[in-house]
């Protein structure tokens, strides 16, 4: 095992042991991240060896924190295709457009990656029961991985969560509390009960393992693109674990020598719904922290995250990468989903439909050149959002 310790994501000088179940930084309350002996890991796993393994998340085991890969809770996650989008790209004036199609994960969303690693770690480090507040897909994924791991799962979901997510959670045996309000209210409901009930809380960035699972998005992208990276990445941003995880992957790969030291890292673009866009607002205001919107609302349920714990971290990444942040309306994001479905045969989740709409905004603003290699992340299947597409 090459994971050595945990560090604070903020400027706090702190080393925590990797072999104890961790939550957030005890000093700042901010997220923790896993650090590795990358020199030793790079000797144990070359990029050629990684490329020769089956396309799946656990093929990156040397760069994940689970001590014994035989204890992985595995549903076959990861290894999703990077597909070119020639017809959609042509319609938007983007010549080199791809999508990493995360809807092909177990349960139909990228949440599988984070939960595979987090549930494996939680079980290996002694958790007896798991809980998470969820806008939809994360709860469904935790329910599935909890069932696979043989651990009970408690979820708190907004009362207006998509029906498919609720059904998925219940069929896997999770207990579901429906809460009036947003994921922030659900988070409070879990936090108030977790210690008395003995639940390990897997809320976004309140533990350091989900990010490690999401990090595999960045490694796979480099592998798919022949160890180069795109010019621009658009990511539908709620809590932001994918954005943060990918950036961590890029930094690790540079240190490992898997990508060239002078490889320009992609400009990261956070896309949100205008009804709940705390990161876009903070980015535009030049702020270091996000403020919650007063009445967060959007049909893209995964983007209804008013108080992301990783706000400072995400804003640093957007700025460091030379990227930006874009908000689009619900009408635009649903139209984006319809356009991708009609032109490419891919039914994106509305969260990813927002990326299609954001491409138009970036082209109009002159922030995306026609020839730039651009990657979207279809974070989930649109089939779970039938309520949004009835008309």
Residues that bind ligand PLP in the complex, under the rule CB under 6 A:
109, 135-138, 204, 236-242, 302, 349, 351, 379-380
Which residue number has the CB closest to ligand PLP? 302
> C-beta of 380: minimal distance to ligand PLP in Å?
3
For tokens 């791991």, the residue is 149
Cβ distance to ligand PLP smaller for residue 38 or 172: 172
Distance CA 354, CA 335 (A): 9
CA angle 15, 43, 221 (to 5 degrees): 85
Cβ distance to ligand PLP smaller for residue 65 or 136: 136
Cβ distance to ligand PLP smaller for residue 41 or 119: 119
> C-beta of 134: minimal distance to ligand PLP in Å?
7
> C-beta of 64: minimal distance to ligand PLP in Å?
18
At 322 the three-state DSSP class reads coil
Cβ distance to ligand PLP smaller for residue 148 or 215: 215
Give residue 259's region: left, alpha or beta (phi > 0; psi -120 to 50): beta
Cβ distance to ligand PLP smaller for residue 123 or 210: 210
> C-beta of 255: minimal distance to ligand PLP in Å?
24
Cβ distance to ligand PLP smaller for residue 106 or 239: 239
Sequence-ordered list of residues with C-beta below 8 angstroms from that of 14, at least 6 positions apart, any chain: 7, 8, 25, 26, 27
- Helical spans, DSSP H, in the chain: 38-44, 47-52, 86-92, 111-124, 137-149, 163-171, 183-197, 209-224, 241-256, 278-285, 311-320, 330-344, 350-365
CA angle 335, 327, 343 (to 5 degrees): 25
Q: Which two tokens stand for residue 386?
A: 């039938």
Cβ distance to ligand PLP smaller for residue 230 or 302: 302
Strand partners, 270: 235, 325
Residue (of 46, 72, 74, 67) closest to 2 by Cα position: 67
> C-beta of 34: minimal distance to ligand PLP in Å?
17
Residue (of 37, 201, 18, 55) closest to 119 by Cα position: 201
> C-beta of 296: minimal distance to ligand PLP in Å?
13
Distance CA 136, CA 140 (A): 6
Cβ distance to ligand PLP smaller for residue 210 or 267: 210
> C-beta of 243: minimal distance to ligand PLP in Å?
7
Edge-first strand listing for the sheet containing 267-273: 82-84, 96-101, 373-378, 232-236, 267-273, 324-328
> C-beta of 46: minimal distance to ligand PLP in Å?
29
With 0-12 CB in 10 A as exposed, 13-18 as middle and 19+ as buried, what is 96? middle
Sequence-ordered list of residues with C-beta below 8 angstroms from that of 160, at least 6 positions apart, any chain: 301
């Amino acid at each position: 095992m090459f994971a050595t310790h945990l560090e604070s994501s903020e400027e706090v000088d702190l080393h925590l042991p990797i072999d104890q179940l961790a939550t957030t930084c005890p000093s700042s309350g901010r997220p923790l991240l896993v650090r590795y002996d990358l020199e030793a890991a790079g000797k144990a796993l070359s990029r050629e060896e990684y490329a020769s393994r089956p396309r799946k998340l656990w093929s990156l085991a040397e760069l994940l924190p689970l001590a014994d890969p035989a204890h992985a809770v595995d549903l076959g996650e990861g290894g999703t295709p990077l597909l070119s989008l020639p017809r959609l790209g042509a319609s938007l004036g983007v010549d080199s457009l791809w999508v990493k199609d995360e809807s092909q994960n177990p349960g139909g969303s990228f949440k599988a990656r984070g939960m595979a690693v987090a549930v494996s770690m939680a079980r290996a480090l002694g958790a007896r029961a798991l809980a998470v507040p969820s806008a939809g897909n994360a709860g469904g994924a935790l329910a599935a991985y909890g069932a696979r791991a043989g651990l009970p799962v408690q979820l708190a979901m907004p009362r207006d969560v998509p029906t498919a997510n609720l059904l998925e959670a219940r069929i896997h045996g999770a207990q579901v509390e429906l809460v009036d309000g947003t994921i922030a209210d659900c988070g409070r409901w879990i936090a108030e009960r977790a210690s008395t009930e003995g639940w390990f809380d897997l809320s976004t960035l309140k533990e350091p393992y989900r990010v490690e699972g999401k990090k595999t998005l960045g490694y796979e992208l480099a592998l798919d693109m022949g160890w180069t990276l795109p010019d621009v990445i658009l990511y539908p941003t709620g809590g932001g674990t994918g954005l943060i995880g990918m950036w961590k992957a890029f930094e690790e790969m540079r240190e490992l020598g898997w990508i060239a030291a002078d490889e320009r890292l992609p400009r990261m673009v956070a896309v949100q719904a205008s009804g709940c866009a705390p990161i876009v607002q903070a980015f535009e205001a030049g702020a270091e922290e996000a403020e919650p919107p007063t009445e967060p609302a959007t049909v893209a349920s995964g983007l209804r995250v008013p108080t992301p714990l990783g706000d400072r971290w995400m804003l640093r990444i957007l700025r460091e990468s030379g990227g930006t942040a874009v908000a689009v309306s619900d009408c635009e994001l649903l139209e984006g989903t319809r356009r991708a479905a009609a032109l490419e045969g891919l039914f994106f989740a509305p969260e990813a439909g927002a990326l299609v709409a954001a491409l138009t905004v970036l082209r109009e603003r002159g922030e995306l050149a026609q020839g730039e290699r651009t990657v979207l992340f279809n974070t989930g299947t649109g089939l779970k959002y039938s309520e949004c597409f009835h008309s």
